[in-house]
Structure 1
Amino acid sequence: MSNRLNGSETIDRARSFIYNSARLLDRMRFAYHFEHGSKQKVIQALKPYQNEDGGFGHALEPDMRCPDSQPVTTEMALSLIDEMDGWDSELLPLLLSYLQELTLPGGGLPRATTAVNRYGHAPWWETQRDGIPSLNPTGKIIGLLLKSPFRKPLLKKEWFQTNISFIWSSLEKGPPGDYHDGEQWSVFLANAPDADRAARYYGLLDEWLGSPGVIERDPLAEGYVQKVLDYAPTPASYAHRFVTTDEVNLHLEELQRQQQPDGGWPISWPAVSTAAEQEWRGYVTINHLLTLRAYGRL
């Protein structure tokens, strides 16, 4: 077999991995994106991760095994709803109630709560105390909601406006510190209610994205680094303007080569557990397939 698989081989091998080894949620995502599956079945598979308070837990974010609702886990749920264009889902009213209750008095959502410490979790999720607002995940959560059909009614809500104010004040502190902060910036700015104000911050974001070492250009770089296709998973991605066609093609070829014998892709960070690793592999395998398709490789 050649080093480079054609598109049909790539997706056939991935299909085998997904149906053999991925969680139900990612099996339904695969079916939706590649087999004319039902959006509603993806939403139904997401529903068991939602708690009575409206937030999401139960290791939907696999590095956080906590069953209790967590802000970042809820951010992941919201991202999946956006992926499905599932804004008419019955999950949304309770989710919005949870975010309203979670909003801190001065605005902002916490990165995590101390409940996460009682269960298996990646070391970066260790949380010393509650009630500390964080741009991550506030920026992306509010950005996605501003993108949604709920934009107009939410802009009339005090809790929502306090979060917007917190995000603006966070951006004032300087450019993103890492890839995850950059994602908060880009999603919020793309949907910000004040386009003129957003334009001023795009200058800082652009300067950061163009700085050496921010986007990893080496497709063979190892460890937890964010590469060209992490920043530009589709040609429509904001960061796509900061990479070259040759760089994209090089990374696409390496991405296909990294597909494992079982058909899935590996993760580049230490897993909390065997289960967490397998759950992540299903999730990122779908994401990589979507990237390959977006660039015409499938």
Structure 2
Amino acid sequence: MTGQKSVEALGQAKLFIYRQARLLDRRRYEFHFEQGSPEQVIAALRAYQNEDGGFGQALEPDIRCPHSQPVPVEIALRLMDEIGYVDTSIMDGIGRYLRGIVRPEGGFPLATLAVNNYPHAPWWYREEDQLPSLNPTGNIIGLLYKLAEHHAFQEEEWFQSSVAYMWRQLDDLNPYDYHDIVQAATFLEHAPDSEQVQEYRVWLDELIKRPGIIELDPQAEGYVHKVLDWAPAPNYPAAKLVTSEHISLHLDHLLTEQQADGGWPIRWEAVSPACELEWRGSITIDRLLTLQAYGRLELS
């Protein structure tokens, strides 16, 4: 089946999305595959935004905390980028929230202590929240650079101090942590071009190419990060670091991972059945977009 398009994957996924997924992911499906409007996606996203401008309300399904957290803000930015539509009021709120949580040395914490008061995946537990973290600072600043025409944050002190924090963190990057590497990659991809940025992009490419960083075995199990996690679309920088044969093999395997109910699975233990379905709805849209990006979906 190598290289073949799937005729059935989209139809099966549609049934799963409408049976099981949250409204936000139904709107995403409609936007990408049913001529839905970006405004409807934004309307669903807005329900997760709090009065402080940040996002919570389990937008990140493993964080059941209703209060604003940095990672859900990253997710909101990524979603607006995904649909190519940035809501000004949402962006203004994000700026207000980030000004309030930036740490003195720049950057944002992975999560605040409020996360501990609600159900959450064990890796979200915090003993302190005063220190900044590369994750999610890299993605937040990188996405804000990418969406720069929709805000004027770059000249603000919190933004500049967070950029400085990112450059300091790049010198101490743990080369074996996927989540840190992708934060660095997003930042370097969208930071204003300069000789320094070019040098670090080359350095990061060499780091990612080290054995064991990208999982090349499409059938590897557990919480691993495979070729299509690094390169979910051909325009991702990591796509040039693997062969077309590896990409094809992983696309073949991705199609086989679609489950009988039409959705794709998660690779980690969920907080609850509801949490698992929320994640599976989100990931199912992601998988469809990857298959579409590589020409593996037969669209009606």
> Which of the five TM-score ranges fits, normalised by the shorter chain?
over 0.9
Q: Which runs of 5+ in 1 are unaligned?
A: none
CA–CA separation in structure 1 for the residues paired with 2:183 and 2:220: 24
What is the correspondence of 1:1-298 to structure 2 with a 5 Å cutoff? 6-150=5-149, 153-298=152-297
Contact 1:5–1:256 at 8 Å: present in 2 too?
A: no
TM-score normalised over the length of structure 1: 0.96
For residue 266 of structure 2, what is the amino acid of its counterpart? I
**CA pair 6-95 structure 1, distance change in 2 beyond 3 A:** same
CA–CA separation in structure 2 for the residues paired with 1:58 and 1:5: 40
CA–CA separation in structure 2 for the residues paired with 1:212 and 1:62: 32
CA–CA separation in structure 1 for the residues paired with 2:172 and 2:122: 26
For residue 229 of structure 2, what is the amino acid of its counterpart? D
User: What is the DSSP-based 3-state SS (H/G/I as helix, E as strand, rest coil) of the residue aligned with 1:155?
Assistant: coil
Measured against aligned partners, the alpha-carbon deviations of 1:181-203 in whole angstroms (never above 9, x if no partner) come to 11111111011135211112123
CA–CA separation in structure 1 for the residues paired with 2:164 and 2:137: 11
Deviation at 1:9, TM superposition (A): 0.7
Contact 1:75–1:141 at 8 Å: present in 2 too?
A: yes
**CA pair 190-148 structure 1, distance change in 2 beyond 3 A:** same
Contact 1:175–1:205 at 8 Å: present in 2 too?
A: no
TM-score normalised over the length of structure 2: 0.95
**Matched-pair identity in %:** 52
CA–CA separation in structure 2 for the residues paired with 1:279 and 1:292: 20
For residue 53 of structure 1, what is the amino acid of its counterpart? D
CA–CA separation in structure 2 for the residues paired with 1:38 and 1:272: 32
CA–CA separation in structure 1 for the residues paired with 2:268 and 2:246: 23
Contact 1:39–1:84 at 8 Å: present in 2 too?
A: yes
Q: CA-atom RMSD, angstroms?
A: 1.7
**CA pair 129-296 structure 1, distance change in 2 beyond 3 A:** same
Deviation at 1:131, TM superposition (A): 1.1
**CA pair 129-269 structure 1, distance change in 2 beyond 3 A:** same
Contact 1:55–1:98 at 8 Å: present in 2 too?
A: yes
Contact 2:120–2:271 at 8 Å: present in 1 too?
A: yes
Deviation at 1:143, TM superposition (A): 0.5
CA–CA separation in structure 2 for the residues paired with 1:177 and 1:3: 31
Q: Which runs of 5+ in 2 are unaligned?
A: none
CA–CA separation in structure 1 for the residues paired with 2:257 and 2:92: 40
Deviation at 1:226, TM superposition (A): 0.3
Measured against aligned partners, the alpha-carbon deviations of 1:9-64 in whole angstroms (never above 9, x if no partner) come to 11000000001110000000000000110100000001111110011001100011
User: What is the aligned length?
Assistant: 297
